[in-house]
Structure 1
Amino acid sequence: MESNGGDAFRILEEIETLKAAKSDIEHRIANLQVQIGGVAVEEMTDSILCPPISTNDAGFGHGLSPEMVYRYSRQLLLPSFGVKGQSNLLKSSILVVGAGGLGSPALLYLAACGVGRLGIVDHDDVELNNMHRQIIHTEAYIGQSKVKSAAAACRAINSTIDIVEHREALRTSNALEIVRKYDIVIDATDNLPSRYMISDCCVVLGKPLVSGAALGLEGQVHYLAVC
């Protein structure tokens, strides 16, 4: 009986601890919501304090509304991210070249986290043998453009961001024109000529490049910043 009583006491203590943690998270979210309106927030810890931003200053026509604060609340709580980080995301633009095995998860996460403008480049159509690894596509889009399929999936996750569809191959004749419109480029292609061309474009235009590759059970990723 004493053992059962001790277990019950520990469980009650854990319940109270969880309640306190829940209350603290709700308080921090409320403080962030007040901060969005530009109202000074008192008694916030330095780890989550971010400069107030205007709801009219969110980039690409999207304000950081109360609904967006709730949508992104979990990442807004990150000490190194906060409201300023989310505001910067909304003002940013990223081009993903390739909507296949590498581009699929990248596009889904970028759309979900709130990148303001997301460009997709691919000239292929969705095929049945894409289904097991190119997770952004569904059977309903087999035979249709991968860009169309990927754009639909991104909009389904986050309707507040701008999706730009480039249903064409990236070639020397159009690469500079397309790449110059974005802040960052993600190379998710699967062939060396395309990789070299994308890298050259980023060097010429001074764009940061994130390049990923996968073969079998191995993969690698590189970030290249133009100095």
Structure 2
Amino acid sequence: MKLLLLALALTSVSALAAPKNQLQNADFSKLKPGAAPGKPWHTSGPAEGVEVAAGSPDAATGSGWVHLRDDSAEAGATLRQSFNAMPSGSLSLKLHAAPTHHAPVGIYLGTGAVSSPEDRVIELKTNGRGVFQIGSAGEREASPITLVPGVTTWLFVQWKPNSAGDNLDVVYGTVDNNGQLLTSQRLQLPVKPDPISALRITTDKSASGADFYVTDLRVMSL
């Protein structure tokens, strides 16, 4: 039932009954091409080979995307925002990897700047083959979700403390363009379920070859 409700929310985000998006300035269609998202978004500083700016994968995918490109072995491309702390909630977003993309992508939910493993309550990170690995604080396991170059992936994550309040119940998966479930998995993270208050999407500083786009970013309270 919760998964069904999530699918309905994803397809009805403009409806009055839909939960409020906790992310501010998340409508990237208002940005001019090449412009970086403004506050309260935090983006990586300018560096050679690194870009975080409005751009579209192609005409078919439309506008409203932010392009993250990292062709530097010294700096990373990062998009981050803090929001009101939520013990339970959900994240959904669309990712589109460019045909030339072949580097890890990290999607982290946590506290503070979500820059260290200790701050990362939920981690989703692709490996060298594009397979998302999910976990917490650097400990991850493989998922059935793969970021395929040239393909758009609509990803969601839900989290909620268990009844004992000592672990975090997580449901994650993908939906199609109509909001219908494609995949869903459930796991329990053996971590202290600190309220999540920040989202960080980033590349590895030590890697190059990252070239992907994000849009429809939503963080909602459950």
| Higher alpha-carbon Rg | 1
- Using structure 1 for the length normalisation, give the TM-score: 0.24
- Using structure 2 for the length normalisation, give the TM-score: 0.24
